[in-house]
Structure 1
Amino acid sequence: MKVVAEPLQSGSSLAYDYIHDYEKVTSLYGEDYHRDQTWMDRMQWLDDTEDRRVNRHALVEILKGYNEKFNSHDAVHTSLYMLEKPGTLVVTGGQQSGLFTGSMLVIYKAITIIQAAKEAEKRLKRPVVPVFWIAGEDHDWDEVNHTYLLSGDTQQVSKIKMDKYSSQRSSVSYSAISSAEWDQAIKSLSDTLPDSDVKSDIITQIQRAIHTSDNLSDAFATLLGDMFGKYGLVLLDSADIRLRKLESPIFKSMIERNDELGRSYRASADQITSLGYELQADVADEGANLFYLHEGNRLLLVKQDGKFMDRKRLVSFTKEQLLDMLEIHPERFSNNVLTRPIMQDSLLPVVACVLGQGELAYWAITRQAFEIMDQKMPILLPRMSFTLLEDTQQKYMKKYGLSFQDVQYRLQERREQWLSNQDSLQIDQLFVETRKAFEQMYDPLIEQLSSLEKGLYTLGENNKIKIIDQISFLERKAKDALEQQHEATLRQWDRIGTLLFPMGKPQERVFNVYHYLNRYGLSLIEDILENTGDYSEEHRVILL
């Protein structure tokens, strides 16, 4: 395994500047995360504000119960033992639970959290625990109910999807999945993965995870634990009902200071757009930025007519009524994308949070909100980014003189250029000359015929268009024949694009890890951890 740095196109100009030109965005985020002093200052601030977070012992007791069920490893027990001690810090990051762990970026986020925690521990000479925040309170089922693999038979991208038999907009962690749906998903996975030495072990591992799970989040946690528990990665499900009592005081402050929070989000959003960046999260002027669970449906609250309500007015509360409901039923409350960062830092002593590029961009909206809640934005670390390049594709790229940047930006152009070089007939030039010769003969003809009758000129022009169309049709057929002549080779070109940028997106955003574990063995994740070395925000290509 060899690792080389290669730039990858960013989806956000704000995230790009955060990573590559921090001075441009200092006003949005604060001190530069590259500086050692920034880390020391953050550690000191956490020490000074221990009383602003929930009780460590109470939090760890909940995490012990959760991890004992889904992530019971000696290293995790050690991490939780350390987390209970004052002064222990956390590097965290999170993701929605996905089918069979979802796309590769989830795996890379977990790797980044682990690597960054190790380095922070060395830098600060202080215990630092890695924590993965499972966003199980999210209710967008369509974002998490599927995953993509490369079909062993067709070499095409295959989608495995799981339907939800309930129409309620409930949190993923509260959405039960039938055994029949699980069985069908596993069958689809088994049918898609080609036979290998470890395929049966993979299927067995997934079946075990599913048989101990009531929902997608539980299965996700078990699989993550199987992969990363031995590295001490602690798992936290944000939908864990036992957390709500601990979170209740934070929700209370969010409700009491809701107008202030709303103004801070609006001010930050305006600042971001004034600097020429696009917003990566909606900032509604009337938004309460909290969800309320009502009859199994997770409703986003807004403020209208002095009350908190959902858009359809299924629920409506005065501020006092909402606070009373929080005291009676804290389990009905959850965060949205803008309040979740504050809740995370109210629970955990976060020295640094690992974020993807989209997250980096929308966290800029929350900086002032942290201050309103007597908090301070943590250090934000860009998630490590990788593309796995298999040996066969390496050979093809070398054969055709393709670089990673060629594949990213101009693969189709290079493919057409290669095919043109194989064209001994020079089809393009041949048909250009043919059209030119035809027009040189035909145009004078219809000019002469128009002297007999004006209508013949119009008829001739229409006839000319039809003949040109037929010539173009023949040209397309000739090019099709050329492609068919080189079909096997062109499939190699197409496979390069499919594996590195499936569906036109970075590999890490599409493919599931089990495609690679099935091909390269269950130790692949361990190999990546060992061979990628220190934390780096640069995108890297891993040559397998």
Structure 2
Amino acid sequence: MKNERVQLPFGQPVTEAYIHRSHPGVEALFGRHAAEPSHWTSRLRWLKEHADKRVDAGQLADTLKAYNDRFNGDAAAAANIEAIRSGAPVIVTGQQAGLWTGPLLVLHKAVTAISAAREASAATGTPVVPVFWIAGEDHDWDEANHAFVRDEAPALSKLAVQRPKGARTAVSRTALTQEALAAAVEQLAAALPDAAFKPELIEALRTYAEQSETLSELFAHLLGWLFGKAGLVLMDADDARIRQLEAPMFGRMLRQNDELEAAYARGANALQELGFSAQADVAPGSANLFLFDEDERVLLYKENGAFRNRKGTKSWTPEQLLGWTENEPQRFSNNVLTRPIMQDYVLPVLAAVLGPGEIAYWALTGEAFRVLEMDMPIILPRMSFTLIEDRVAKHLDKYGLSFEDVASRYSERRAAWLKERDEAGIEEGFAAAAAGVEALYEPLRSLTTGVQNGLGDLTENNLRRMKEQLQYLEKRTKDAHAKKFDSALRQLDWLALSLWPEGKPQERVLNMTDFYNRYGRGWVDKLLEMPCDKQGGHYLMTI
């Protein structure tokens, strides 16, 4: 497998500044940098010296074991849980549960965490464990419920599981019927082309669907299937056992909520003073915590010494909420600003593997860590990949295209390729015809308005209709010309669909089943062999 490093746009200026260490003020917001070896040592030392500030390692290991015994029973994962029990730090990453793991970037996060843990273990001489934090508490069903695969049209097939009727609750609390999960697998089987590994893939998906009641459970089964042997440890943030461990921190977050709100505001102001925009909503009066109210997940706001829902139709006293943190902690969950703190309280986080958007909103949290006498972990940008199949690589060579051509200027290159084969000069011919029509109408404007002023508008409307007819004829002529090159254009469109689908990076659209169907798990194992890139580089990998 050939690897080539390329640079994709970050889309987040503060993330770019952090990764490239181009702005000292930005780096100061995070405290440490993944590319600095001494920062790994200092963070490891801090974790050892402040173990009493986190969940007890034995309780954490028991909780992780109970969960992984259900979804991720590989011996390597079990051994890593015992390492956590003995005090091993972790490299954590996470994502909302998505259908059949969601877009490929989810796998890239897992790969980065596994690679980083392997290298950190070697560098520090202590076991370091990769952990995947499944954000089952999230309630954005429309983001989680679908997967995209390519068909031979070429086009994308979107496969989705509809949300059952009921409250807008967490994905991990949205029960699905066996019929719904089984039907999704059958739709996938129909959408995927017949290929060498299709029977193996579909059988595995059917098996895990039968063992799952929610998308979060299915997600966990598949991550265990793909990465359990690499030692990846799984956890669901909405697991009842995890909630019990989180209870004391929920209490602190409520008691010190005003301090935390001010800390997030200071973080946003510091970012703005450096010339960057805040990428998470730091709303005045927001508690930055969710409450499950009759199964619906509602964001809490503060008003007149109490907490309320967004619309103000319900309210709760601080004493009432604090009582629930002790007796019913499963009623609470975090938002994007409090999740980093909770993660660091539950786990001994040496480093957190984050995507560009996540790095941007973590930039707001440094002050909040300090308010709770905590220390932000090392932020490690996730690596990313574009998988280039042999068929795609051959077509790139055939048409003289680079990856950048497809990603940045595909429409222009496609049109130029087709224009080079326009021996009849279609575009020029119709341009000349349009100019000729315009010239013919020029003396008519004076003639018609000279007879009657009102005929001027009629003349212009008549000219417009003539131009529209010419444009229609030109389109039909171009379509007929393009049809002569239908096979080549399909190959070109397959390139775009494979490398930059819907105008987005491959990793943000395509699902892993698309590639597993054709190549089995060999490409996953190759990804796991990659050394960790501390700058989270993007790699073109020919498979």
TM-score, length-normalised on structure 2? 0.96
Corresponding position of 1:82: 83
Structure 1 segment 86-125 matched on structure 2, within 5 A:
86=87, 88-125=88-125
Structure 1 segment 175-254 matched on structure 2, within 5 A:
175-254=174-253
Offset from partner CA, 1:308-365 (integer Å, 9 cap, x none): 1212445422222221222221221111111111111111111100001111111111
Which has the higher mean CA deviation after the structures are superposed, 201-210 or 373-382? 201-210
User: Aligned letter for 1:129?
Assistant: V
Cα 1:534–1:460 shift into 2, 3 Å: closer
Q: CA deviation at 1:175?
A: 1.4
Q: CA deviation at 1:468?
A: 2.9
Corresponding position of 1:528: 527
Structure 1 segment 339-488 matched on structure 2, within 5 A:
339-447=338-446, 459-488=458-487
Equivalent-residue separation in structure 2 for 1:458 and 1:354 (angstroms): 64
Corresponding position of 1:42: 43
Equivalent-residue separation in structure 1 for 2:200 and 2:350 (angstroms): 37
Corresponding position of 1:69: 70
Q: For residue 292 of structure 1, give the secondary structure of its aligned residue in structure 2.
A: strand
Q: For residue 130 of structure 1, give the secondary structure of its aligned residue in structure 2.
A: strand
Q: For residue 239 of structure 2, give the secondary structure of its aligned residue in structure 1.
A: coil
Q: CA deviation at 1:449?
A: 6.0
User: Aligned letter for 1:210?
Assistant: A
Contact 1:22 1:32 in 2 (8 A): no
Equivalent-residue separation in structure 2 for 1:243 and 1:454 (angstroms): 81
Q: For residue 242 of structure 1, give the secondary structure of its aligned residue in structure 2.
A: helix
Corresponding position of 2:8: 8
Cα 1:91–1:431 shift into 2, 3 Å: same
Contact 2:77 2:233 in 1 (8 A): yes
Contact 2:307 2:316 in 1 (8 A): yes
Unpaired runs of 5+ in structure 2?
A: none
Offset from partner CA, 1:430-487 (integer Å, 9 cap, x none): 2222233344344235535655555665544443333333223322222222212222
Q: For residue 292 of structure 2, give the secondary structure of its aligned residue in structure 1.
A: strand
Contact 2:279 2:360 in 1 (8 A): yes
User: Aligned letter for 2:347?
Assistant: L
Unpaired runs of 5+ in structure 1?
A: none
Cα 1:448–1:163 shift into 2, 3 Å: closer
Contact 1:98 1:146 in 2 (8 A): yes
Contact 2:176 2:213 in 1 (8 A): yes
Contact 1:198 1:522 in 2 (8 A): no
Q: For residue 194 of structure 1, give the secondary structure of its aligned residue in structure 2.
A: coil
Equivalent-residue separation in structure 1 for 2:537 and 2:278 (angstroms): 23
Q: For residue 320 of structure 1, give the secondary structure of its aligned residue in structure 2.
A: helix
Could you list the structure 1 runs, at least 4 aligned residues long, displaced by more than 6 angstroms after superposition: none
Q: CA deviation at 1:109?
A: 0.6
Offset from partner CA, 1:94-146 (integer Å, 9 cap, x none): 11111111110111111011000011111211110111111111122121111
Cα 1:36–1:455 shift into 2, 3 Å: closer
Contact 2:154 2:493 in 1 (8 A): no
Q: CA deviation at 1:31?
A: 2.6
Equivalent-residue separation in structure 1 for 2:39 and 2:490 (angstroms): 50
Q: For residue 122 of structure 1, give the secondary structure of its aligned residue in structure 2.
A: helix
Which has the higher mean CA deviation after the structures are superposed, 242-251 or 360-369? 242-251
Contact 2:196 2:519 in 1 (8 A): no
Corresponding position of 1:261: 260
User: Aligned letter for 2:402?
Assistant: S
Cα 1:328–1:417 shift into 2, 3 Å: same
Cα 1:443–1:234 shift into 2, 3 Å: same
Equivalent-residue separation in structure 2 for 1:285 and 1:91 (angstroms): 33
Q: For residue 18 of structure 1, give the secondary structure of its aligned residue in structure 2.
A: helix
Q: CA deviation at 1:68?
A: 0.9
Q: CA deviation at 1:514?
A: 0.8
Contact 1:6 1:404 in 2 (8 A): no
Contact 2:33 2:379 in 1 (8 A): no
User: Aligned letter for 1:123?
Assistant: A
User: Aligned letter for 2:531?
Assistant: G
Equivalent-residue separation in structure 2 for 1:216 and 1:464 (angstroms): 59
